[in-house]
Amino acid sequence: MELKRIFVSDLLASWKKFQQTQLLFPFYPSHGQARSEFLAAVKRGEGFWLQRKSQWLLVDKIDKDNTWQINNLLISLNLGWQTAFLLLENAARQKFKRALYLKIEANLILQQWLIDQGYQLLDGLWQKELVYHTGLVLGGGGARGAYQIGVWKALLEKNIQFEVITGTSVGGLNGALIAQGDYNQAWALWEEIETDKVLDITFKEVEELDFSAQVDQLRTFIKVSLQQRGVSSEPLRGLLEERLDEPKIQTGCPFYVVTTKVPAFQEVIVSLNECPAEEIIDWLLASAAFFPMMAMAKIKDEYYVDGGYRNNLPVDIALQKPITELIVVDVHGPGLDKKYRLPDNVAELALASPWGLGDLLLFQSARSSENIDLGYLETKRAFDELQGYRYFFSCHSNFEMITKDFLRYAKTEITLKKEALYPELQKFFGAHVPTEMLSLAFLEFFAYWVNVSPVQVYTPQEFIETILRQFEMPIKLSATFSVQEQIGDFIESHNVFSDYYQVLQIYQQEGSLETFYRRWPIPTLLALFFKYIRNINLTIGS
């Protein structure tokens, strides 16, 4: 759950429920006036909502100097006021805001309650400085782990410190780099990484690593791992010996890695702060021993394999510490993700890319560099410093204006039923897409299909130009993409029953599109939108 901007179309789609919301605190004399003022805030772009199942928390806030000034709070009838207040503070912690300011006139009872919650009245505002005790959880995922270093880069820019780190497999390796506090060492390791620098395997020399060469590498990898009962990770040991400072890890924040003891198949949790310095790399390698592709690790006559077999995303370990928020970075590794219950007083920032992050065991420095950038940009977006669903744009990019202009154009081509757009958008995209942001969703639809790179911050004009250029001159996925990704791209690009092909077929129709719009409203609008961006000279805010 996170606080997201709410749009007028969102309120209209749930108008009856909105009309039943009530003031949490006396920001206004009546519930009705508070609802009217919130609607005005939504139109200004200052209205936000948090939804938990059927419960709503509506917030009118202003961001200022890394704080939130709260000017109005509305809650649904089934949301208790104490729970609502806790959700508000958790939402602020998700964004790592420095303080909360409440602009209310409080009676004596409310004043005492606010004081008990850590608020004080200064300059007419009830203010609370937020104190952070942050845990970091890093999941396993092999070569995809570079993404976690990009996340760390964005966290460093916000000066976010950790009071506990837990990691499995590559998450343990990255956790060690983070625990010693040296971003440059982490970046250098991932920038130079290649499979033969991690595992004791030699691939056939090729002039260019294309699709067939990647298939050959995977075939070689499987063959060698079967012959040797797992490929040795001794080259990785050498990299870690070069990059890690064991005494810094021992004296850093509490840091735990997970491995699996065999043959009992038992989860083993290791505190690296308490390990002898000479054992730290042994335990890191034990946590990352992805058997049978990689050889088992042997420590004191006991054998260990990848911790992901028992606990690939060790949130439960971090929750044993007195933390107030948790950052969880999942890189789609195989294994067991334990279910966990997040305490009500702990905020969670979950980061998991919607993009594929490459092969699990084929390490490529170029792909690692892209994944670092992707982790960095997605974390910046999570902190509302960028916008977009799958791609990235400046927060000043005015997609609402583009949408309004497009809908005016669409009305000249079809009998547009604007009130029916909202449910159709949710159904087509399978995600929350307000009508006002239709242009952003449509642009990202075309960008994804023509393989526009996500690792860049675009202006709308640059994005449109890139889409049109790659539509005219299609590009294939480079060899930095996994075999699975390239096969998937081939299947999608040749699937004549896909949404993309349906849109192109409608786009190529001559004459009126009314019949198509009545039957397939969103594909028809997408076809019109493509005509719009090709034929109209847009003046777009960047």
Contact predicate 329/137, CB 8 Å = yes
Closest CA to 317 of 148, 139, 166, 173: 166
Burial of 148 (0-12, 13-18, 19+ CB in 10 A): buried
Q: Which helix (H) or strand (E) holds 74?
A: strand 67-75
Task: Write out the DSSP string of 433-456.
Answer: --GGGHHHHHHHHHHHHTT--SSS
CA 259 to chain centre: 26
Q: And the tokens for 229?
A: 């009962």
Is the distance from CB of 141 to CB of 357 less than 8 angstroms? yes
Active-site residue set: 169, 306
Distances (CA, A) of 452 to 159, 326, 370, 535: 32, 32, 13, 20
123 contacts: CB under 8 Å, gap ≥ 6:
none
For CA atoms 145, 146, 151, 152, give the dihedral sign.
Answer: positive
- Cα separation, 192 vs 313, in Å, equals 26
| Whole-number Å distance between alpha carbons of 41 and 49 | 12
Distance CA 504, CA 496 (A): 10
Q: What's the CA gap between 146 and 375, in Å, rounded? A: 8
The residue written with tokens 């075999």 in the block is: 483
**DSSP 8-class letter at 273:** G
For residue 63, what are the β-bridge partners? 68
Rg of the chain taking only CA atoms, in angstroms: 26
Q: Enumerate residues 6+ apart whose C-beta is below 8 A from 119.
A: 102, 126, 127, 128
What is the Cα–Cα distance from 5 to 174, expressed in whole angstroms?
33
d(CA 121, CA 101): 9
Residue 158: CB atoms within 10 Å: 14
Among 333, 359, 364, 369, smallest CA distance to 147 is for 369
> Which of 218, 109, 274, 276 is CA-nearest to residue 479?
218
